[in-house]
A and B are shown apart, each in its own frame.
Chain A
Amino acid sequence: DVKVTQSSRYLVKRTGEKVFLECVQDMDHENMFWYRQDPGLGLRLIYFSYDVKMKEKGDIPEGYSVSREKKERFSLILESASTNQTSMYLCASSLNVATGGNEQFFGPGTRLTVL
């Protein structure tokens, strides 16, 4: 059974704190993604990675950074959390498109609240 796991289901942080969200997949997928989902706005891509140590900005990268040191792990970092980063964060992975990818498998999400 394919699996994407995220380090926390719920997280409460204070403004200005540095926040780490971890994502691990066990499917040997090349691609990994971080999205945030807000009511009425749908899923918006923050960053993605198509290989170890490779990263690409998505549509809303401001205020975020990422790290991919190992193929199975993709971390999202909020350098200095702000209240407008309160959201549901979803991690996903997929195969490389050239090898039949595009279907994305999601983790259960982390609901982050910044006070």
Chain B
Amino acid sequence: RKEVEQDPGPFNVPEGATVAFNCTYSNSASQSFFWYRQDCRKEPKLLMSVYSSGNEDGRFTAQLNRASQYISLLIRDSKLSDSATYLCVVPGGYQKVTFGTGTKLQVIP
């Protein structure tokens, strides 16, 4: 099993839709997780951290399921500006993290 796996998409959704991405990880000892957003030809930027109790920030909700070893990102009321690639990030060893290959989201008018 890869350290971290994501569905590459693309996910094409209409404006206003709700969309969810999952990301599975292999290291059961992992403690801290993140979702990053990367716009086309730009650098990745932190979207949100993922806590054991879940984390909500406006239209975005991140959840952690330790038993099944996956994290999820839910986006409600999708906007055109949400179109981007979403990278799942898990701990990857001493001081390091491992990035997933990303899930591409395209929000359509």
Contacts and interface: CB of A to CB of B under 8 A. Distances in A.
> Does A associate with B in a complex?
yes
Interface of A: 30-31, 33, 35, 40-43, 45, 48, 50, 56, 58, 90, 94, 96-97, 101-109
B46 interface: yes
A108 B49 contact: no
Contacts of A102: 32, 34, 91, 97
Nearest to B92: A45
Interface residues of B, number: 20
A97 B95 contact: yes
Nearest to A44: B99
Contacts of B1: none
Interface in B44-63: 44-46, 49
B105 interface: no
Interface string B82-102: 000001000110111101111
A45 B96 contact: yes
Interface of B: 8, 32, 34, 42-46, 49, 87, 91-92, 94-97, 99-102
B34 A109 contact: no
A43 B8 CA distance: 14
Contact of A104 (B49, B97, B100): B97
Contacts of B96: 33, 45, 48, 58
A109 B49 contact: no
A106 B102 contact: no
A34 to B, nearest CB: 12
